[in-house]
Amino acid sequence: MTDGRDNEHLLRALALSHDMLAVAEKADWRSLGALDAERLELLKSFWRKTQRADAADRALLEEISKINDRTIGLVEHQRRSKGRDIDMAAVGRRAVAAYSTIRLQR
C-alpha cells in the first residue's frame, strides 16, 4: 500500500512516459535519455518507499509499462529504418565507385 506522495511519483512517471513517447516520435534521443533517467529515479523512489503496490499503483505501473513498450517499439523501428538507410547509402557508394572508372565516350 502506498501513500499519496508515492502515488504522485507514479503519476509523474506516467506523465514522463507520455513525454518520452512524444520525443521518440521526433527522434530527439538526448531528451529521451534525460526523461528516461528522471522517470527511473521516480520509479526507484516509489519502490524504495513501497512495501506492496495496491490496485491503483499496479494500474499506473501497467500503463507506464504499456507506454514504455510502445516507445521501445518506435525506437526499434527508427533504428531499423536508419540501418536500412545506411545500407542503401553503402550500395550507392559502391555503385559510384564501380562506375567512376568508366569514362564517357564521345
Q: How confident is the model at residue 5 (pLDDT cuts 50, 70, 90)?
A: low
pLDDT value, residue 2 = 52
Whole-angstrom CA distances from 15 to 4, 11, 38, 83, 101 are 16, 6, 11, 31, 57
Per-residue pLDDT reduced to its tens digit, 31-78: 999 999 999 999 999 999 888 889 999 999 999 999 999 999 999 998
Cα–Cα dist 79/72, whole Å = 10
What's the pTM?
0.74
Q: How confident is the model at residue 4 (pLDDT cuts 50, 70, 90)?
A: low
Domain boundaries, the chain: 4-74
- Taking residues 8-35, what's their average pLDDT? 95
Cα–Cα dist 17/6, whole Å = 17
Q: ∠ CA 80-83-86 to the nearest 5 degrees?
A: 155
Residue among 45, 21, 42 nearest 31 (CA): 21
Q: How many C-beta atoms lie closer than 10 Å to residue 67's C-beta?
A: 18
